[in-house]
Structure 1
């Protein structure tokens, strides 16, 4: 499967307050509360983008990988005490089935605290929106301790965008690493190193010499 590329793109220590609405949209009391919180430690969150490329067919999208079902199974297995929720409520199907039934821009929630208080419908986006742009609904979900998974459009299928207040990188890394070496080539990528869309598709032009911060993972790799 040397022609199949799996990319796990991560960004840690993102400021949670940056997901809140701008001051112009806040009441005077909310602004004063924000200032009062200034001296408190900054709450942070992590986000992960999972994508895939089949170089042989030149198709792009996580679901384009032959071992896509194994990737989803690995992620679900990393959180055995979590249950799945959509805007239709608790889901009894496995994560792959739930994702298959989502529309692009919709979310599935992973929670180990029972049903979420957050209005899941408020988390959905349309295909022309960017979930990373100051979304107070997402902030509320992360503060609740939920793991939020977006189904996002890719060139030839879809990718997954995962948000969590806790840094869950290690939890996902080892189950995904266990799929090596036969499933695909696995690259763990620091999202803060991206400079352009060309960097995102590095595998099409500099696979043998990836940019700085783009690390290939092997069966013997350790964190």
Structure 2
């Protein structure tokens, strides 16, 4: 099998932000009235992006297994040059440094603010939960207009999971597309159309005929 990077950008837009917040059946009258007011106004939404890859010749799964991993993260760094990089370890001057220094399960907050008062402990992935992300805490960060990037466990390394109120797909596409070449194939994937683990790893069995929802990005592809 040829030596090749398979880079995958999963996207999921228009997720209702209130789905991240905690549900409570024992609401007060005031909370019910507030909920009704919220119901009558447009639902705030968020987007999420799962960034992963496969080193195809030996089926190594994880973004950091790619030969172009460092180039991918450098392009992500260029995507967010106007934001301050906050972690539980403090601020970093580049995204690659932040990602390399935090542990799996920890996060990077990409903020328009130079200072951060977030409690990173409550934002880390909850290993005791079948959901993983502590949703109410995540929701509060997104409402501030910040982006949250999780370093998540993969089979042979780690992946990145990005959340934002904005749909930042166009700027991600713009910065990642230039990496495409004969040894780096880029697939843009609608998560809503990938219903199984087999679909998630389609590159292992149907690379040249990807399932519906997975579109290959070429050097001349337009959004």
TM norm structure 2: 0.93
Q: Alpha-carbon deviation of 1:27? A: 5.0
Match of 2:9 in 1: 8
Match of 1:23 in 2: 24
Task: Please say which of residues 134-143 and 161-170 is displaced more in the overlay.
Answer: 134-143
Q: Distance in 2 between the 1:38 and 1:47 partners?
A: 23
Cα pair 1:12 1:45 within 8 Å, conserved: yes
TM norm structure 1: 0.93
How many pairs are equivalent?
A: 222
Task: Please say which of residues 53-62 and 180-189 is displaced more in the overlay.
Answer: 180-189
Distance 1:114 1:103, change over 3 A: same
Q: Distance in 1 between the 2:66 and 2:81 partners?
A: 24
Question: Where does structure 2 lack aligned partners over 5 or more consecutive residues?
Answer: none
Q: Alpha-carbon deviation of 1:166? A: 0.6
Deviations 1:123-175 (A, max 9, x none): 10144545576711000000001110000000110000000001111111111
RMSD (Å), alpha carbons? 1.9
Where 1:178 maps in the other structure, the secondary structure is helix
Q: Alpha-carbon deviation of 1:31? A: 3.7
Deviations 1:45-102 (A, max 9, x none): 000000100111111000000111111111110121111001233223x211211111
Task: Please say which of residues 131-140 and 44-53 is displaced more in the overlay.
Answer: 131-140
Question: Where does structure 1 lack aligned partners over 5 or more consecutive residues?
Answer: none
Q: Alpha-carbon deviation of 1:115? A: 2.1
Distance 1:25 1:97, change over 3 A: farther
2:46 equivalent to 1:45: yes
Match of 2:107 in 1: 107
Where 2:220 maps in the other structure, the secondary structure is coil
Task: Please say which of residues 138-147 and 119-128 is displaced more in the overlay.
Answer: 119-128
Where 1:38 maps in the other structure, the secondary structure is helix
